[in-house]
Structure 1
């Protein structure tokens, strides 16, 4: 999967932020914390793990079943920086538009294009 497409999916940023803040979290903990369904969290976390942004640790839980824990990787930390860079770029564009005429300027293919 393309990393840009993955980062654009629902809940990805929130999951990366939670893992960065809290360190290692179990599936149920994470789903509860973010108020998302456990199966959605599991699917999303598996996509993040496949991309190398999250690592999965599996432990036996009292001999009955496996318990999954998730931890952000260095690449996951870099992905969080991607969101921050996007926010900075948006701020620059908004400031540029405001300076150039309070909304009278459109950004078109990376260039300013004045409305007539």
Structure 2
């Protein structure tokens, strides 16, 4: 188990362009209080201070942080960070976005249905 933890500690950070894409994605997802929102969206797995460092280009997300970001933001995040994503990942991102939009549509329909009964 020690070798695995050493690997994570020494794993290479993202290159500069990928870090830029991470920051851009996170800022687009959360235009206000980006670092605070990312920390909340990852259930506190990534601290506000760490996210601020990424946004200021003072540090890059490590492997564990990337796993938390992928878990929180899904395939769309990966597509944006990778840039030249494979077709299967693009399809997953599209499916996630469609599901998210369908849920928003359902919530709006429900909200308007309740308001029209008043």
- Interval of TM-score (by shorter of Structure 1 and Structure 2): 0.3 to 0.5
Normalized per residue, the structure richer in strand is: 1
The two structures have a TM-score, normalised by structure 2, of: 0.33
Normalized per residue, the structure richer in helix is: 2
Structure with higher Rg: it is 1
The two structures have a TM-score, normalised by structure 1, of: 0.34
